[in-house]
């Protein structure tokens, strides 16, 4: 899956990763993927909860070999 946009929020802490994800999702088209790179461990559950609440889909979430989170969010509306 190739992301349409990458949002780098590494080094930022709650609530910034979710707030910036909410802004960035509107910059891509419906059906496209937003890649979020984060170092805050809370970003994973926070972005998953936000996606569920707002009607988007987290299609993948992984910890990279470099030690940060890579979360892929599909815009559904």
Q: Does domain 5-74 have CATH number 3.20.20.70?
A: no
**Average pLDDT for 20-45:** 97
3-state SS class at 48: helix
Q: Among 74, 72, 69, which Cα is nearest to 10's?
A: 69
Q: pLDDT-based confidence at 58, cuts 50/70/90? A: very high
Average pLDDT, the chain: 97
Report domain extents, the chain: 5-74
Q: Who's near 4: CB < 8 A, 6+ residues apart?
A: 28, 29, 32, 33, 34
Residues designated as active site: 14
Provide the whole-model pTM.
0.95
């Amino acid at each position: 899956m190739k992301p349409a946009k990458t949002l780098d929020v590494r080094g930022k802490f709650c609530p910034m990763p979710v707030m910036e994800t909410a802004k960035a999702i509107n910059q891509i088209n419906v059906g496209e993927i937003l890649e979020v790179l984060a170092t805050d461990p809370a970003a994973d559950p926070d972005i998953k909860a936000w996606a569920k609440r707002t009607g988007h889909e987290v299609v993948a979430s992984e910890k990279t070999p470099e030690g940060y989170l890579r979360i892929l969010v599909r815009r559904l509306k």
